[in-house]
A = this chain, B = another copy of it.
Amino acid sequence: MNSKAILMQGNEACVEGAIAAGMRFYAGYPITPSTEIAELSAEKLPKVGGKFIQMEDEIASMGAVIGASLAGLKAMTATSGPGFSLKQENIGFACLTEVPCVIVNVQRGGPSTGLPTLPAQGDVMQARWGTHGDHPIIVVSPSYVKEVYELTIRAFNLSEKYRVPCILLMDEVVAHMREKVELPDPSSIKIINRKKPDPTIKEYEPYKDCDGDGIPPMANFGEGIPFHVTGLIHDITGFPSTSATVTEALITRLMKKIYDNLDDILDYESIFTNDADTVIISFGSTARSVMRAVQIMRREGQKIGMLRLKTIWPFAHRAIQELSSQVKNLIVAEMNFGQLVEMVKASAEGRFYVAGINKFNGELIAPNEIISRTREVRSRA
């Protein structure tokens, strides 16, 4: 890979990014519009000594990914809505057992089989809440092909650093679009690997917060330190416990890993928000429409800003709470019936008027739709 400008598809950038981040295992089950990720992984992984396997379904894929990660390989799977639903149980297992892994969901029109080839952003809430029980998770969402590459690497890094599954939430537009990208020099890429326990350790306690950062060092299976992993609530030794104290401590640590590190995990781009009276919030391909709309409106002298979320979960409450008091309106643009807008409302605490621009017909929201809705919102009585 060199830093020549080339035309690259979103799904391809995902595979390139993953391999650059150190992915050496991919297990998946094909589904439109994520299939190219599987196909390119099948081709490219063995070239770098990595492994690709097509499993019998998405549940098995997620299981194999967790198994491979426990055995020490950086592992990824990619899917779309129906497959993402199926993976949820095992995603929860990875959350609780703190096994790093990356799950790509290329969103298509839903619900159910829905619109397999058309774009949507309808899985935003599911990405946070799809598995049962309280659990930590990180979800990032790229808007550009270049950013697919970058955020895939970031997904691996966050996942390894915090021992948490990380979801790369794409939409069909970004995944299938080809765009000019210049990939960075591989040596310039920052790669994070999971923290390992001291190999001379006597008694490895796999869930002990040795370093006080909430993230226990992680041994790999078969590398000299045997240990036990279970999806039951467990104490620091990794063995099941039903103690209320143990349970509370475990869940709290899992959540604090995320909520104590928002500075590191949250990633968003604020554009023209300083003097804006109206800020449009968006993510993924929708943000590109918003960008165009904002530029048009700015050229017309309107005080519009935008907030583009690259980390969707944990939700960037703070980005909203820190908006200047000049801001009157928040508009949330999403290719769905209205999902993230509820989170924005919760963050707004009545300080801003919150409205949505929603499109859920299989088409990307167009800039002119954003412009006219913005006009409506700003001119409301």
A residues apposed to B, CB below 8 Å? 59, 81-82, 84-86, 88-89, 92-93, 95-97, 107, 109-118, 120, 122-123, 125-126, 128-135, 230-233, 242, 244-245, 247-248, 251, 255, 336-337, 339, 342-343, 345-351, 360-363
Contacts and interface: CB of A to CB of B under 8 A. Distances in A.
B82 A111 contact: no
Contacts of A343: 342, 346
The 9 closest A-B pairs by CB, nearest first: A110-B133, A350-B350, A81-B132, A111-B133, A112-B231, A345-B346, A125-B129, A113-B231, A244-B361
Contacts of A115: 232-233, 242, 247
A128 B128 CA distance: 12
Contacts of A97: 112
Contacts of A345: 345-347, 349
Interface centre among A117, A339, A361 (most CB of B within 10 A): A361
A95 B351 CA distance: 35
B247 A360 contact: yes
Contact of A134 (B59, B248, B337): B337
17 contacts: A85-B92, A88-B130, A93-B112, A111-B134, A112-B133, A113-B232, A126-B131, A126-B132, A128-B129, A129-B129, A133-B336, A134-B336, A134-B360, A244-B363, A248-B360, A345-B346, A348-B349
A232 B336 CA distance: 17
A231 B109 CA distance: 11
Interface centre among A123, A125, A134, A347 (most CB of B within 10 A): A134
A18 B112 CA distance: 27
Given A86-B86, A337-B255, A350-B349, A126 B120 contact: no
A135 B111 contact: yes
A111 B126 contact: no
Given A96-B111, A247-B361, A242 B117 contact: yes
